[in-house]
Amino acid sequence: MIMKIKKLNINNIKHFVTSAKLGYTVAFFAFVTLMTITVSSQNFFYKSIIENGISKKDIIAQKTITVVDTDKTEQRKKEVASKVEPILTPTEDTYIKDNLTTLFSSISQIRKKDASMDTKKDELGLLLDISNITTKNYVIEYLLKSDDKAVQQIFDKTSLTLTNILSIGVTEKDAGNLEKIINKNISSNISKPQATIIRELLEQVVVPNLVINEYATDIAKRNAQALVKPYEVTFEKGDKILFEGEPVTKLKRAALVQAGYNVIDVNYKGFGIVFVLVGICTLAFLYYLKIFEKSYIETDHLLMTAILTLVTAVVSIFIPPAFSSYVLPLPALMMLLTIFSNPRIAFVATSLMLAILSVVLEYNMQFVCSFILINLAATESMAGLKFSKRFDLIKTGLKIGILSAIILLTVYLIESCLIEVSKTLIATDCLYIFLNGVLSGIVILGLLPVLESSFRIITPYGLAELADHNQPLLKRLQFEAPGTYHHSLMVSNLCEAAAEAVGGNPILARVGAFYHDIGKLKRPLFFVENQSYFGIENPHTKLNPRLSKMVITAHPKDGVELAKEYHLPAIISNFILQHHGEGLASYFYNQAIIEEGADNVKKEQFRYTGPKPNMKETAILMIADAVESAVRSLKNPTNEEIESIINKIITERLNDGQLSDSPLTLKDLKTIATTFNRILRGMQHNRIKYHEDIVHELDKTKTVPKKVIDTELDNKIKQLEQQANKPKDIEDDKN
């Protein structure tokens, strides 16, 4: 049992080593490692001058450098903020007056109470909270033994004094000096005994009516801090920024940045974390392709995307830290990936690239948010590109530059509402991001031909060039196989319209249709559409069906060889190989049955070598190729006949399994049939047959006035149209 398990494990390992999975795994780890080394390489530049926070050598300023000492600046700001007096806000002081009124009412009730003097003194003593016993007894004796007029006079003066105190305001800080504040506000013409009574009564009710407004105070402190000028340290040219063995402070790190040094310090643990981050982002991109964009997962597009992202990373690390980060060529990466794939893939790849660079190179949140919005704007701009002219790339780059500048300006304006932002910085960064977009369009315009030829990936611009009928192969087809050339033109019209109707690539479908039959150039006279042009007899009449089948079914293979010779893109070869799929050469199959008998002939012997169509566009070509040939073989087909032929051919291809590998749905096939029907009816429209005597009638124009001619011509044309529109059976009866 153990031996079986070991043998099974060894077989699994051998299978993995020899399978394509090993290549993909190696490629994945190679890319992640290269990307990690690239974005972390600034660590090694920094290690060459700094180790463990200590300078390894003297570093001299090559230019005048002015650096803000953030620590001292912050210290100054804190000192200024601490000196700002709290901003006080008055509270509702009605309750203080109400408390005094309540106190007066209680004293009056005790005075009027039918009780002994000792009882009244005890009750009043409980009401008044006076710490000094002598003063307390004096106040009680005065309030109980004085007449009503004297007591009312005390109440009135106390109320007036309270009003004066509250108008000035009492703070928490004043609570300890309450006696002093009350004495200060008691009128000078009040006697000393009365002043004592008033003071003690007010001390019972007066509380602070001014509180600190935390929000207003914080604003005042911020405003005071904003006025503090940054504490700057200047290193003149030739001054030493760092001495050998000197610890690197925050100030010295800032000076090194201004001097152009990279000061990002990533240790080996950090290197491993960056590796994991890059690996996660790469896996996320691959899974996105696997789920949503399967056609790009195993093509040269993946290699090109990897190389372009690596190049972008290399450019990013060579941007000096003191320079604006908005020269990062992310718009160019977005535009290139859109042209070679689609806007969705480009946006995902660029966003993941932005995430990696932002984390490793410590870009701020404002930069990240700005570029996310810029990527969205670039995606929308590229999605609307028609790819009709290469110069449109420069226009799109200009559009992206303008949108990017507007986005960045908006972000800066929002930021300036919270903190002070230099207007020079705003103007400089907006200019850089604008130039970034414009130059991206210009640079890509020059790079496109190089990338197309290097990766053998066809772009819409490359397709437009291949569609030029002055291309050598199309020229040869036009002169050496004119019937095939004309057939290809008709098929291309059908393919383009159908591809657009079902969401395919109409340009690719059109160009693929142009080249799908170039293999017939090897033996053009063996194909019926060219025989009538050259006026020759059909050579297949002298060949046996099996030999004829070999000649006919060889044209896809011959076409691929020609495509390689003329350096056509691989995707065009798909159209050449797949347009017959594994279909049956039915004419020669039937001929073989007649000559050899049904028992001696198998369908597999008379099939094309394939493969079956695996793209929408190649599947459409298979149907269009058969439909156009069938309709062309009919003389003046009716609309019903055209529709019947289209449906029959689609049904035959479905039943034969030729569309099993294509992504076309039944709904797509119905749409394709409707599109073909509409176009073929337009191609086969009937014309009015003019009578010969109309020429004689037109000769009269030299002598007859123009007005008379116009009237006679109108009548003649109406008569002819009516005659042409009469049912055929009526015409036959007349004849």
CATH number at residue 328: 1.10.1760
Span 638-668, pLDDT tens digits: 889 999 999 999 999 999 999 999 999 999 9
* Higher local confidence (pLDDT), 248 or 28: 28
Q: What is the mean pLDDT of residues 558-569?
A: 92
- State the pLDDT at residue 161: 79
Q: What is the mean pLDDT of residues 169-184?
A: 68
Residues 427 and 476 in one domain: no
Residues 634 and 507 in one domain: yes
Residues 477 and 607 in one domain: yes
Residue 519 domain flag: yes
Q: Which of residues 683, 703, 720 is at a domain's end?
A: 683
Q: What is the mean pLDDT of residues 205-216?
A: 75
Q: Which of residues 433, 457, 481 is at a domain's end?
A: 457
- State the pLDDT at residue 362: 74
Query: Which residues face 65 on adjacent strands?
Result: 235
Residue 317 domain flag: yes
**According to the per-residue pLDDT averaged within each range, which of 262-276, 344-358, 708-722 is highest?**
344-358
Residues 618 and 657 in one domain: yes
Among 12-16, 629-633, 662-666, whose mean pLDDT is lowest?
A: 12-16
Plot region of 497 (φ>0 → left; ψ -120 to 50 → alpha; else → beta):
alpha
Cα angle vertex 732, ends 730, 735, to 5°? 115
Q: Give phi and psi for 128, each to the nearest 5.
A: -95, 125
Distance CA 128, CA 103 (A): 9
* Higher local confidence (pLDDT), 314 or 22: 314
Confidence of residue 267 (pLDDT cuts 50, 70, 90): low
Query: Is the confidence at residue 348, as pLDDT, over 80?
Result: yes
Cα angle vertex 636, ends 634, 639, to 5°? 95
Residue 221 domain flag: no
- State the pLDDT at residue 574: 93
Residues 503 and 642 in one domain: yes
Residues 512 and 615 in one domain: yes
Amino acid at 424: T
For residue 58, count other CB atoms closer than 10 A to its CB. Answer: 13
Residue 31 domain flag: no
Residues 639 and 705 in one domain: no
Query: In 3-state terms, what secondary structure has residue 422?
Result: coil
Q: What is the mean pLDDT of residues 218-223?
A: 84
Distance CA 605, CA 576 (A): 21
Residues 648 and 719 in one domain: no
Residue 274 domain flag: no
Tell me if the bond preceding 727 is cis, omega within 30° of 0. no
pTM of the model: 0.60
**Residue 473's closest CA among 390, 596, 562, 391?**
562
**According to the per-residue pLDDT averaged within each range, which of 313-322, 379-388, 607-616 is highest?**
607-616
Q: How large a percentage of the chain has pLDDT more than 70?
A: 83
* Higher local confidence (pLDDT), 470 or 199: 470
Residue 467 domain flag: yes
Q: What is the mean pLDDT of the chain?
A: 81
Query: Is the confidence at residue 724, as pLDDT, over 50?
Result: no
- In the block, tokens 């640079």 appear at 443
Query: Is the confidence at residue 85, as pLDDT, over 60?
Result: yes
Confidence of residue 41 (pLDDT cuts 50, 70, 90): confident
- State the pLDDT at residue 44: 53
- In sequence order, the 6+-apart residues with CB closer than 8 A to the CB of 575 are 512, 513, 515, 516, 617, 618, 621
Span 428-477, pLDDT tens digits: 999 999 999 999 999 988 888 888 878 778 888 888 888 888 999 999 99
Residues 238 and 328 in one domain: no
Q: What is the mean pLDDT of residues 216-222?
A: 83
Confidence of residue 10 (pLDDT cuts 50, 70, 90): low
Distance CA 379, CA 501 (A): 24
Residues 535 and 670 in one domain: yes
- State the pLDDT at residue 50: 66
Q: Can you give the CATH number for the domain in which 601 is found?
A: 1.10.3210
- State the pLDDT at residue 211: 72
Tally of domains within the chain: 5
Query: Is the confidence at residue 345, as pLDDT, over 50?
Result: yes
- In the block, tokens 């908005």 appear at 326
Among 188-192, 457-461, 692-696, whose mean pLDDT is lowest?
A: 692-696
- State the pLDDT at residue 733: 36
Query: In 3-state terms, what secondary structure has residue 51?
Result: strand
Q: Which of residues 403, 425, 457 is at a domain's end?
A: 457
Span 370-416, pLDDT tens digits: 999 999 988 888 887 777 677 888 889 999 999 999 999 999 888 88
Residue 264 domain flag: no
Beta-strand pair 240-242/88-90: unpaired
Confidence of residue 695 (pLDDT cuts 50, 70, 90): very low
Confidence of residue 735 (pLDDT cuts 50, 70, 90): very low
In SS3 terms, 138-183 reads as: HHHHHHHHCCHHHHHHHHHHHHHHHHHHHHHCCCCHHHHHHHHHHH
For residue 330, count other CB atoms closer than 10 A to its CB. Answer: 24
Residues 341 and 434 in one domain: yes
Residues 539 and 619 in one domain: yes
Q: What is the mean pLDDT of residues 109-119?
A: 82
Query: Is the confidence at residue 619, as pLDDT, over 90?
Result: yes
- State the pLDDT at residue 182: 73
Confidence of residue 330 (pLDDT cuts 50, 70, 90): very high
Confidence of residue 331 (pLDDT cuts 50, 70, 90): very high
Residue 33 domain flag: no
Amino acid at 147: D
Query: Is the confidence at residue 52, as pLDDT, over 70?
Result: no
Among 217-231, 251-265, 285-299, 522-536, whose mean pLDDT is lowest?
A: 251-265
**Residue 637's closest CA among 601, 676, 695?**
676
Span 223-266, pLDDT tens digits: 888 888 887 888 887 787 777 777 877 777 777 766 656 555 55
Among 78-92, 344-358, 508-522, whose mean pLDDT is lowest?
A: 78-92
Among 236-250, 268-282, 515-529, whose mean pLDDT is lowest?
A: 236-250
Question: Domain of 191?
Answer: 88-212
Q: Give phi and psi for 132, each to the nearest 5.
A: -80, 115
Tokens standing for 302? 């993946």
